[in-house]
Amino acid sequence: MLELLISTEWLGAHLGDPQVVVVDTRWYLRGKRGIDEYRAGHLPGAVFLDVDTDLADPPGPGRPGRHPLPSHERFAAALARIGVRHGALVVGYDDEGGAVAARLWWLLRYFGLSVGRVLDGGLAAWKAEGRPLETADAARRPASRLALAPQPGLVVDKRRVVELLREPGTLLLDGRPADRFRGENETVDARPGHIPGAKSAFVGDNLVEPNGRFLAPAALVERFAALGANEAKTVVCYCGSGVKACHDILALTLAGRPDAVLYEGSWSEWAADSGLPAELG
């Protein structure tokens, strides 16, 4: 599964390939905007996709959490705008070791496209090697909209999570930082804590160092075995809003467990439902 990760060396040698679409996915909860960081310096030729407007539908009453999955139409339009054609390879990156870029990888997979990759080490690795950046918005020729085929088996909703919690062999992995998992630092969602029975699987621990490259596959196998993935019948990944949980799904795939599913609404939906239990500690 190592082909899901793209090295800086490979990407540096293929930046001029029109069939390689490099996508900056930087996104932040608060304090700064991804588009501003993109315009301050990005990989040569990289285009920008926004989590809030391209990789998610707007939240609202009746919608699951802060980042509902984008509609077929929204995601197809985003891909067409940045020039993704048949045969293209889409390489996402960010400045968090792929924690946001994995959302793009997962969405491509969810919509039936096996063309998504993540730049291993992201922007930090690129800059550490002294590779160039540019500030001008990249101009790519728009493409026709691709035919997308959503794979509903890759995602679960709140009702299904409740059902799975009653079934033996279910493993819930929470990708948020450990302090938010324990309920010690909740400033984003309605309640502190986590889904009862879930295990803490902070996405940053999939990396060799903060914002760095992924652990080797053998190390990822060991990490998820310790969390119970080997024995689990069903593995469900969630985070605050279903964005960074995709990093755990990618890491599990690299570890040879490609069948983990995403809880779309994640903690932002669960915490907002006062009828559902929350666990602290």
Structure tokens at 210: 């903060």
* Encoded tokens for 110: 């969810």
CA distance 128 to 220: 24
Domains within the chain, CATH numbers bracketed: 2-128 (3.40.250.10), 152-272 (3.40.250.10)
Length of the chain: 281
Q: What is the mean pLDDT of each run of 10 residues along the chain (281 residues)?
A: 87 95 96 96 98 97 95 98 96 98 98 97 98 94 95 98 96 97 93 97 98 97 98 98 98 97 98 96 94
The pTM of this model reads 0.97
Contact in structure between 25 and 38 (CB atoms under 8 Å): no
Supply the residues annotated as catalytic.
239
Query: Residue 37 and residue 249: Cα distance in Å, rounded?
Result: 26
Q: Would you give the distance in Å from CA 125 to the centre of its chain?
A: 19
pLDDT in tens, 64-103: 999 999 999 999 999 999 999 999 999 999 999 999 999 9
What six digits make up the tokens of 43? 């990989």
d(CA 56, CA 68): 5
